[in-house]
């Protein structure tokens, strides 16, 4: 049953939380393990409202998990117990979804569950990489290092995503602004100008007449068009859930000039960073590749990892295995060969990660410089289109009045 309770800690402070318990004795046993005394409790029988609130609560974002991992690593590393560290962090967290999840994690740990298994019960809050590194830290007794590795990994992911997003913010903004201008002219300005021109018998150019027909069609079939677009988007969302479809789109995206190279650099940055971090954590190469194949959502990269696993399992060298995928460039293959022969593979992979991250940054800057003139050309083309279709009749009217 779901219980809300208030308990007194040994230092005189109170704790208010909630959790699932078999009965009241289960709650009492959990509090006794934490040296706390139950003050009051209440059974929550109507959970529909709680479920609705949980759905509407803002999701836990990556920077918040990074801050949580850094703080917990620092506290546990300084000698504070895991339970006290989690309790202290819970009281300082403002985001309700994360705070609620931590309350349940504390309850699970007090019952004797491990930190990783407690995190695993909240996959929508705690990422897979955090759960994985915590399981390693529990086996090796290095929880602080595991939390720090998770924070470093998520920070790298956040930096890559921010860089890639930055490259598309400007064109997205300009495209949206241009779209708003077109809609305003077509559905507000155009009908009024056409009505005025018809009243004074001004001959409209073919471009304007075609636009009038287009606007009339859109107004007459707006419901069907919206339904078609909704069906198209829904169908695309369902199609993207199929791995083969996502693999096809990813492969096509990698072939797009500039954007494909940017995507490739970001993928390689994340892959080499993750693999280097796992090898430094003491995992074998086989285990690291197996974990990455399960964590990465990119179907193209998953297939590449599986190909490397197949080749290494057949007894081939790591260099030959990576080369057989035809995915990695000559620089990456060279570094992998050097690392494999010298026993410094994790260092070579870390070097590749930094190199590709710098390359991603350069691509972002290059993309911005390439998009600017393209946006100017498109804006100019839109302006010419508006002039030809809507302004030229005004000049014809002025010419008629001047001739008269």
Can you give the pTM of this predicted structure? 0.68
List the Cα angle 273/275/280 in 5-degree steps.
95
All residue ranges of the chain with pLDDT < 50 are none
pLDDT value of position 67: 92
List the Cα angle 107/75/134 in 5-degree steps.
60
Domains of the chain, residue spans: 2-126
Cα Rg of the chain, angstroms? 30
Phi (first) and psi of residue 40, to 5 degrees:
-155, 160
Sheet holding 37-43, edge to edge: 14-20, 2-8, 37-43
Architecture of domain 2-126: Up-down Bundle (1.20)
Token pair 């995503």 is found at 161
Give the Å distances, CA to CA, from 343 to 66, 86, 282, 334, 361: 31, 38, 14, 14, 30
Using an 8 Å Cβ cutoff, are 168 and 87 in contact? no
CA 60 from centre of chain: 11
Using an 8 Å Cβ cutoff, are 283 and 291 in contact? yes
Half-sphere exposure of 286 (CA within 13 A, CB side): 8
Half-sphere exposure of 162 (CA within 13 A, CB side): 9
Q: Measuring CA to CA, which residue among 119, 121, 102, 122 is closest to residue 18?
A: 102
pLDDT value of position 46: 57
């Amino acid at each position: 049953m779901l219980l809300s309770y208030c308990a007194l800690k040994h230092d005189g402070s109170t704790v208010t939380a909630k959790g699932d318990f078999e009965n009241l004795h289960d709650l009492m046993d959990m509090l006794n393990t934490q040296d706390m005394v139950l003050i009051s409790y209440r059974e929550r029988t109507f959970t529909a409202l709680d479920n609705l609130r949980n759905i509407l609560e803002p999701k836990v974002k990556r920077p918040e998990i990074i801050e949580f991992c850094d703080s917990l690593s620092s506290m546990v590393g300084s000698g504070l117990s895991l339970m006290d560290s989690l309790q202290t962090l819970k009281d300082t967290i403002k985001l309700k979804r994360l705070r609620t999840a931590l309350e349940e994690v504390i309850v699970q740990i007090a019952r004797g569950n491990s930190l990783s298994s407690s995190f695993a019960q909240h996959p929508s809050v705690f990422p897979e990489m955090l759960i994985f590194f915590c399981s390693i830290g529990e086996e090796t007794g290095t929880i602080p290092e595991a939390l720090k590795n998770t924070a470093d990994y998520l920070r790298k992911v956040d930096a890559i995503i921010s860089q890639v997003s930055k490259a598309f913010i400007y064109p997205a903004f300009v495209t949206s602004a241009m779209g708003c201008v077109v809609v305003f002219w077509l559905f507000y300005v155009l009908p009024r100008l056409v009505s005025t021109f018809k009243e004074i018998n001004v001959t409209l150019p073919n471009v304007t007449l075609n636009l009038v027909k287009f606007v009339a069609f859109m107004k007459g079939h707006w419901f069907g068009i919206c339904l078609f677009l909704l069906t198209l988007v829904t169908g695309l969302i369902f199609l993207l859930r199929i791995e083969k479809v996502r693999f096809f789109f990813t492969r096509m995206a990698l072939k797009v000039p500039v954007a494909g190279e940017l995507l490739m650099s970001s993928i390689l940055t994340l892959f080499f960073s993750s693999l280097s971090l796992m090898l430094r954590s003491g995992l074998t190469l086989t285990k690291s590749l197996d974990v990455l194949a399960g964590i990465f959502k990119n179907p193209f990269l998953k297939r590449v990892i599986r190909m490397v696993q197949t080749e290494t399992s057949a007894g081939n060298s790591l260099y030959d295995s990576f080369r057989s995928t035809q995915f990695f460039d000559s620089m990456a293959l060279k570094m992998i060969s050097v690392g494999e022969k010298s026993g410094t593979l994790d260092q070579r992979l870390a070097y590749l990660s930094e190199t590709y991250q710098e390359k991603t940054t350069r691509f972002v800057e290059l993309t911005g410089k390439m998009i600017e003139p393209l946006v100017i050309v498109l804006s100019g083309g839109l302006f010419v289109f508006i002039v030809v279709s809507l302004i030229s009749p005004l000049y014809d009217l002025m010419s008629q009045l001047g001739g008269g």
